[in-house]
């Protein structure tokens, strides 16, 4: 898809000096401030010369607006308050009109169907106070690609105004749950990060758990109980083909791709003890990394592939450990009260997210890879399984409600939360959901 886009048409229009001296821009979000005031931004409907084009323009703007709003860092201004109209905006913003409604940033642009049947979209981001263009870009795609264009525009705006890369042009794979709690039907499902384009990847005949994306986003590794043999599989999204990884006597589970996509790391259970193994997907060669009578599971590579964090009860109860990628230098990193599980290394490398529970309450938290700086982001009767957005700023996880005394309730829902612990939001799914995994930015 990316081959169809980005001809940074007006990057040239953006004064080179602006990029050289970003401090001169008045609009900037300090993303690290935990209680940042959302930036008021006016996102106008992209101008369309025909009824169809203007509908497309409106749809794109709404997706951009929803993405930015959901981040918690932006406050899109109600379009009913806008003074200047999209067609006159085509010529030049009247900044006074936008200052009048306290917009600090302004987005406008144009959508049109080209004669060869492509959708061409241009947009600009303006600093209202400085009366300057900050970004101008154009995209070409098939008309079906309008949502992705919208997400890419949102990513572009997010990046320009926060200094961090975006995470909107991404997908989430998760376990969709339905049916009675004693016999849940679990299916893999995939959707855009905003919940759109939802589709099921498996039919529910077999119990499936813990899906995770490959770095290319085109493969999913997961666990399936196909034929009552719980094993790790890889599903190739483009072909729908699925294959079991290896032929082991015991259960294989807790799979994750290595950062280069060439291996899958997982747990292999034998005679009740679970150890960590890595399989090279090209040679199918398997290497055992841990060897104890204890439970070693939930392995996850550091983004540079040199280290692995995992969960083990070798110290008496569940704690987090880090080792080198070859299995050497195993050391414990979690020392707080309670139990720790599901360590997941941030794509930026600076943090490890985890599930923790103590005193009957579960938490999602983060700590540095050396175990310092533990910070709890959210809590609940049961919260579990954090996964990082590709920019390492936002996490998704799942939350299980407490059942009442009659065994009612207890549903699972997906949530997202900012790294600061603010802006927790439910991610709406058609059915209950668990085990979310966030994709890298789509290729």
Partner 1 sequence: MKMRFLTVVAAVALLAACSSNEEAGKANTGAGTAAATTAAKPGVVPGSQADFVANVGDRVFFAFDKSDLSAQARQQLAAWVVFLKKYPQDKMTVEGHCDDRGTREYNLALGARRANAVKEFLVAQGVPAASLKTISYGKERPAVLGDNETAWAQNRRGVGVIGE
Shortest distance in whole angstroms from residue 385 CB to partner 1: 7
Measured CA angle at 273 (ends 270, 279), to 5 deg: 60
Dihedral sign (CA 59, 60, 65, 66)? positive
Q: Which is nearer to partner 1, 254 or 395 (CB)?
A: 254
Q: Which is nearer to partner 1, 73 or 364 (CB)?
A: 364
Q: Which is nearer to partner 1, 44 or 434 (CB)?
A: 434
Q: Which is nearer to partner 1, 148 or 231 (CB)?
A: 231
Q: Identify which of 43, 231, 205 has the alpha carbon closest to the alpha carbon of residue 123.
A: 43
Q: Identify which of 245, 240, 224, 128 has the alpha carbon closest to the alpha carbon of residue 190.
A: 240
Shortest distance in whole angstroms from residue 217 CB to partner 1: 22
On whether the CB atoms of residues 291 and 323 are closer than 8 A, the answer is: no
Shortest distance in whole angstroms from residue 340 CB to partner 1: 9
Q: How far apart are CA 20 and CA 15, in angstroms?
A: 9
Shortest distance in whole angstroms from residue 250 CB to partner 1: 7
Shortest distance in whole angstroms from residue 398 CB to partner 1: 10
The two beta strands, 273-280 and 286-288, are: antiparallel
Q: What does each C-alpha distance from 4 to 52, 121, 302 come to in angstroms?
A: 21, 12, 32
Count Cβ atoms below 10 Å from residue 95 Cβ, excluding itself. Answer: 18
Distance from the first to the final alpha carbon of the chain: 7
Coil/strand/helix, residue 180:
coil
Coil/strand/helix, residue 290:
coil
Q: Which is nearer to partner 1, 164 or 401 (CB)?
A: 401
Q: Which is nearer to partner 1, 357 or 422 (CB)?
A: 357
Shortest distance in whole angstroms from residue 274 CB to partner 1: 4
Q: Identify which of 97, 152, 165 has the alpha carbon closest to the alpha carbon of residue 126.
A: 97
Q: Which is nearer to partner 1, 273 or 307 (CB)?
A: 273
Cβ-based neighbours of 93, under 8 Å, separated by 6 or more? 84, 106, 108, 126, 128, 131
Q: Which is nearer to partner 1, 159 or 339 (CB)?
A: 339
Applying CB under 8 A, the residues found at the interface with partner 1 are 181-184, 186, 207, 209-210, 223, 228, 230, 250-251, 253-254, 267, 269, 271-274, 295, 297-298, 311, 313, 317-318, 341-342, 355, 357, 381-382, 384-385, 400, 402-403, 405-408, 410, 434-435
Shortest distance in whole angstroms from residue 442 CB to partner 1: 27
Q: Which is nearer to partner 1, 108 or 318 (CB)?
A: 318
Q: What does each C-alpha distance from 112 to 56, 136, 138 come to in angstroms?
A: 8, 16, 11
What residue ranges in 214-251 does DSSP mark as E strands?
219-224, 231-236, 242-244
Rounded to an integer, what is the distance from CA 3 to the centroid of its chain?
22
Coil/strand/helix, residue 381:
coil
Shortest distance in whole angstroms from residue 261 CB to partner 1: 21
Shortest distance in whole angstroms from residue 331 CB to partner 1: 19
Shortest distance in whole angstroms from residue 29 CB to partner 1: 34
User: Long-range CB contacts (< 8 A, 24+ apart) of 293-300?
Assistant: 296/267, 297/253, 297/254, 297/267, 298/254, 298/267, 298/341, 298/342, 298/343, 299/254, 299/256, 299/265, 299/266, 299/267, 300/256, 300/265, 300/343, 300/344, 300/345
Q: Which is nearer to partner 1, 168 or 362 (CB)?
A: 362
Q: How far apart are CA 182 and CA 232, in angstroms?
A: 23
Q: How far apart are CA 337 and CA 43, in angstroms?
A: 47
Shortest distance in whole angstroms from residue 253 CB to partner 1: 5
Q: Which is nearer to partner 1, 84 or 210 (CB)?
A: 210
């Amino acid at each position: 898809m990316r081959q169809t886009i980005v001809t940074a048409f007006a990057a040239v229009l953006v004064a080179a000096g602006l990029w050289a001296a970003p401090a001169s821009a008045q609009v900037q979000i300090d993303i690290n401030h935990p209680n940042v005031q959302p930036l008021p931004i006016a996102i106008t409907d992209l101008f369309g010369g025909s009824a169809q084009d203007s509908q497309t323009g409106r749809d794109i703007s709404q997706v951009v607006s929803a993405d930015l709003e959901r981040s918690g860092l932006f406050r899109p201004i109600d379009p009913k308050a806008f003074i200047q109209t999209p067609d006159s905006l085509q010529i030049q913003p009247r900044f006074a009109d936008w200052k009048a409604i306290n917009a600090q940033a302004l987005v406008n642009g144009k959508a049109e169907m080209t004669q060869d049947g492509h959708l061409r979209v241009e947009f600009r981001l303006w600093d209202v106070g400085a009366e300057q263009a900050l970004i101008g870009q154009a995209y070409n795609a098939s008309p079906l690609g309008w949502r992705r264009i919208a997400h890419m525009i949102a990513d572009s705006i997010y990046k320009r105004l926060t200094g961090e890369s975006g995470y909107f042009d991404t997908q989430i794979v998760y376990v969709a749950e339905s049916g009675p709690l004693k016999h849940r039907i679990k299916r893999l499902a995939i959707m855009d990060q905003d919940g759109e384009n939802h589709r099921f990847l498996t039919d529910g005949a077999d119990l499936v758990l813990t899906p995770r994306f490959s770095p290319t986003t085109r493969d999913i590794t997961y666990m399936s109980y196909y034929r009552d043999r719980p094993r790790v599989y890889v599903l190739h999204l483009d072909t729908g083909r699925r294959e079991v990884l290896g032929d082991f006597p015991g259960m294989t589970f807790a799979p994750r791709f290595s950062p280069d996509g060439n291996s899958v790391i997982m747990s292999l259970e034998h005679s009740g003890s679970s150890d960590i193994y890595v399989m090279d997907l090209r040679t199918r060669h398997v290497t055992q990394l841990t060897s104890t009578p204890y439970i070693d599971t939930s392995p996850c590579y550091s983004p540079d592939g040199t280290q692995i964090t995992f969960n083990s009860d070798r110290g008496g109860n569940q704690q987090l450990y880090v080792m080198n990628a070859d299995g050497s230098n195993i050391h414990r990193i979690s020392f707080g009260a309670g139990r720790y599980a599901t360590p997941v290394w941030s794509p930026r490398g600076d943090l490890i997210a985890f599930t923790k529970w103590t005193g009957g309450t579960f938490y999602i938290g983060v700590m540095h890879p050396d175990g310092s700086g533990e910070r709890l982001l959210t809590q609940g009767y049961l919260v579990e399984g954090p996964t990082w957005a590709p920019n390492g700023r936002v996490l998704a996880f799942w939350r299980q409600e407490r059942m009442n005394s009659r065994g009612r309730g207890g549903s699972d829902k997906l949530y997202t939360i900012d790294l600061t612990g603010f802006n927790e939001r439910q991610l709406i799914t058609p059915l209950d959901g668990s085990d979310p995994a966030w994709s890298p930015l789509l290729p």
